[in-house]
Amino acid sequence: MNKNKFLTTCLLSGALLASQMANADENHPGYLAGFTSRVSQGFANTTFSFIEIPKNVVNITHDQNILLGSSWGLLRGVAHTVSRTVIGVAELIASPIPTDEFISPPYVWDRFSEDTRYFGLHYPGYWTHFGPLDHGYTDTLDHGK
């Protein structure tokens, strides 16, 4: 009986992988590529989420002033750290399921001067500052540029 369950599991897994590869196009990676990407994003976001604190302090200081950067930037950085950690755990849990991205930019060090967005939404009160290396991405907000 155990042998039949194992064989059935292997056949269903193979069919799932084959169907995902057959439907793949240039905009959507294959199942295995998407899975490994989600696992690496989840691990990195869980491990390195603390980088959100200096990121927000630096960005708000650059955009406003040092007083606002050291107070509001610290609070926002802590909030984004907790949020990125929770999203990282969710990405690790949901990595076998092909879904849209949870967080943008996917890694905290990508597009460092851009504000973190969740589930593709841009909430009121959030800024999006484009640094010299941040132009040319299709998922960034336009804001008249």
Q: Which of 2-16, 69-83, 87-101, 126-140 has the highest mean pLDDT?
A: 69-83
Q: What is the pTM of this model?
A: 0.63
Which helix (DSSP H) or strand (DSSP E) does residue 103 occupy?
strand 103-104
In the chain, the percentage of residues whose pLDDT exceeds 70 is: 67
DSSP state for residue 83 in the 8-state scheme: H
Q: Is the pLDDT of residue 42 over 80?
A: yes
